[in-house]
Amino acid sequence: MIDLSVIPTPCYVCEEEKLERNLQILDRVQHESGAKILLALKGFAMWSTFDLVGRYLCGTSASGLHEAMLGRETMNKEVHTYSPAFREEEIDQIARISNHLVFNSPQQVRRFLSRAKAANPSISCGIRVNPEFSSAPVDLYNPCGLYSRLGTTIDNFDPLVLEDLDGLHFHALCEQNVDALEGVLQAFEDKFGDFIPHMQWINFGGGHHITRKDYDVDRLIEVIRDFRERHDGVTVYLEPGEAVGWQTGPLVGSVLDIVHNGMDIAILDVSAEAHMPDTLAMPYRAQVRGAGEAGEKPYTYRLGGNTCLAGDIMGDYSFDEPLKIGDKIVFEDQIHYTMVKSTTFNGVQHPSIAIWTKENRLKIVREFGYEDFKNRLS
Ligand SMILES: *Cc1c(COP(=O)(O)O)cnc(C)c1O
């Protein structure tokens, strides 16, 4: 359990024990289903934990050169790189450091496949298809939505490009359970099933919420085993991001001031906009430790960030005791899709990144300052 009194704020605190518990669940899926699991860096790229992550998972999944470099440098296991569109200036370098390359369209295959193979003769290449089936919760996170640019639909598919490819990739889920995967798999096999016998691997993408309490892990194992049996033991990859970092620690902030304008408003040293942007983009309400809905407990406050954006607001929360300046506010589950998306907007202090170790020690692995703000501007 994190000792809040020793946490300097603002700070993201990743709890090693919780991360390892997630990795153990994912490892069980690997062992019992035969699938290989990669960490999608898009959702969780806290590389100071990658010694641990790499003990369980097979590697990293990247969306371009920089993530591929990070995966190669910091975990150095399998590196799988997909991009909605590779750039000519980068394709050679990406190919050299990747084990798998996944193209988004037949045109990209024709442009870059032979170049990639020249740069790295042992690379294994595939194409991302769009199964046109998705039950993703919101359009922003629906890779199979109307006019999606992600993956090739069966109507735009050219089986000729498969001649030099080893695999098919789809990614159609977002925070979903195995029933959604079963729907996608059905659509994928209906549309692309004829091509599977020629493939060495099928990548089921991410969005599998495997480490969530109500996720049906046993059913996932069954579904993957069935799929592999139906298709001559083809290799299956999963590449979850969120499921790796799911509920592995909070963002801890402090109350800087309390003002009143029709209601009580606490201004914090963290920002919804800059440090937990999905709460505004998705949007969703972050859990605050010890707090309830507005009006549920005796003292209700609007929690707001310290940027000058009017909408930099976490929401209205109620507490058992009145808040005071200096009180710590703990936003739960702020490790995935936070530090990968955070900004130095408005120059506000970026939270430090820390690990709460299994030995109950605080290890601050990164602190930020003025230079970080300045250096990404000019
Ligand atoms: C975002 C993404 C993932 C990871 O998705 P999660 O929802 O974080 O599990 C995997 N593969 C691709 C291609 C993605 O775009």
Backbone Cα Rg of the chain: 22
Residue 175 alpha carbon to ligand 1 centre in Å: 10
* Shortest-distance atom of ligand 1 to CA 243: 9
Same domain, yes or no, for 120 and 261?
Answer: no
- Tell me which residue range forms the domain holding 97: 16-245
Same domain, yes or no, for 176 and 218?
Answer: yes
- What is the structure's pLDDT at 229? 98
* Shortest-distance atom of ligand 1 to CA 240: 9
Same domain, yes or no, for 259 and 142?
Answer: no
Distance CA 4, CA 9 (A): 10
pLDDT (tens digit per residue) in 308-355? 999 999 999 999 999 999 999 999 999 999 999 999 999 999 999 999
- What is the structure's pLDDT at 65? 98
Q: What percent of the chain has pLDDT over 70?
A: 100
Same domain, yes or no, for 183 and 203?
Answer: yes
306 contacts 267 by C-beta, under 8 angstroms: yes
Please provide the average confidence, as pLDDT, over all residues in the chain.
97
Q: Is the CB of 67 under 6 A from ligand 1?
A: no
Same domain, yes or no, for 238 and 273?
Answer: no
Give 138's pLDDT tier (boundaries 50, 70, 90).
Answer: confident
Residue 231 alpha carbon to ligand 1 centre in Å: 24
Is the confidence at residue 136, as pLDDT, over 80? Answer: no
Last residue of a domain, one of 200, 229, 245: 245
Last residue of a domain, one of 245, 278, 308: 245
Distance CA 81, CA 90 (A): 12
- What is the structure's pLDDT at 298? 98
Q: Is the CB of 64 under 6 A from ligand 1?
A: no
In a 3-state reduction of DSSP, which class is residue 325?
Answer: coil
CATH number of the domain at 84, please.
3.20.20.10
Is the confidence at residue 27, as pLDDT, over 90? Answer: yes
Distance CA 170, CA 129 (A): 5
Same domain, yes or no, for 276 and 313?
Answer: yes
20, 183, 206, 274 alpha-carbon torsion, rounded to 10°: -100
Is the confidence at residue 140, as pLDDT, over 90? Answer: no
Q: Is the CB of 239 under 6 A from ligand 1?
A: yes
Residue 239 alpha carbon to ligand 1 centre in Å: 7
Same domain, yes or no, for 254 and 209?
Answer: no
Q: Is the peptide bond before 137 cis (omega within 30 degrees of 0)?
A: no
Is the confidence at residue 74, as pLDDT, over 90? Answer: yes
Same domain, yes or no, for 183 and 259?
Answer: no
- What is the structure's pLDDT at 315? 98
Mutate to test the pocket of ligand 1, among 36, 42, 246 (most ligand atoms within 8 A of CB): 42
From atom 5 of ligand 1, which residue's Cα is the shortest distance away?
206
Residue 180 alpha carbon to ligand 1 centre in Å: 15
From atom 14 of ligand 1, which residue's Cα is the shortest distance away?
206
Q: What is the pTM of this model?
A: 0.97
Q: Is the CB of 245 under 6 A from ligand 1?
A: no
Q: Is the CB of 241 under 6 A from ligand 1?
A: yes
Distance CA 320, CA 288 (A): 13
Mean pLDDT of 107-119: 98
Is the confidence at residue 264, as pLDDT, over 80? Answer: yes
* Shortest-distance atom of ligand 1 to CA 82: 13
What tokens were used for 317? 């929360």
- What is the structure's pLDDT at 324? 98
Residue 42 alpha carbon to ligand 1 centre in Å: 7
Distance CA 162, CA 180 (A): 27
Q: To 5 degrees, how large is the angle CA 272–CA 273–CA 278?
A: 75
Residue 260 alpha carbon to ligand 1 centre in Å: 42
Same domain, yes or no, for 322 and 361?
Answer: yes
Mean pLDDT of 134-153: 87
Q: Is the CB of 206 under 6 A from ligand 1?
A: yes
Mean pLDDT of 38-50: 98
Same domain, yes or no, for 125 and 228?
Answer: yes
Is the confidence at residue 141, as pLDDT, over 90? Answer: no
What tokens were used for 255? 């109350």
Residue 205 alpha carbon to ligand 1 centre in Å: 6
Is the confidence at residue 81, as pLDDT, over 80? Answer: yes
- What is the structure's pLDDT at 255? 98
Give 160's pLDDT tier (boundaries 50, 70, 90).
Answer: very high
Distance CA 313, CA 268 (A): 10
Same domain, yes or no, for 221 and 299?
Answer: no
What tokens were used for 238? 């999963």
Same domain, yes or no, for 176 and 252?
Answer: no
From atom 8 of ligand 1, which residue's Cα is the shortest distance away?
241
Last residue of a domain, one of 217, 245, 273: 245
- What is the structure's pLDDT at 87? 98
Is the confidence at residue 135, as pLDDT, over 80? Answer: no
CATH number of the domain at 322, please.
2.40.37.10
Residue 43 alpha carbon to ligand 1 centre in Å: 7
Per-state percent for the chain, helix, strand, coil, to nearest 5: 35, 25, 40
Distance CA 7, CA 19 (A): 19
Total structural domains within the chain:
2
Q: To 5 degrees, how large is the angle CA 64–CA 68–CA 71?
A: 150
- What is the structure's pLDDT at 206? 97
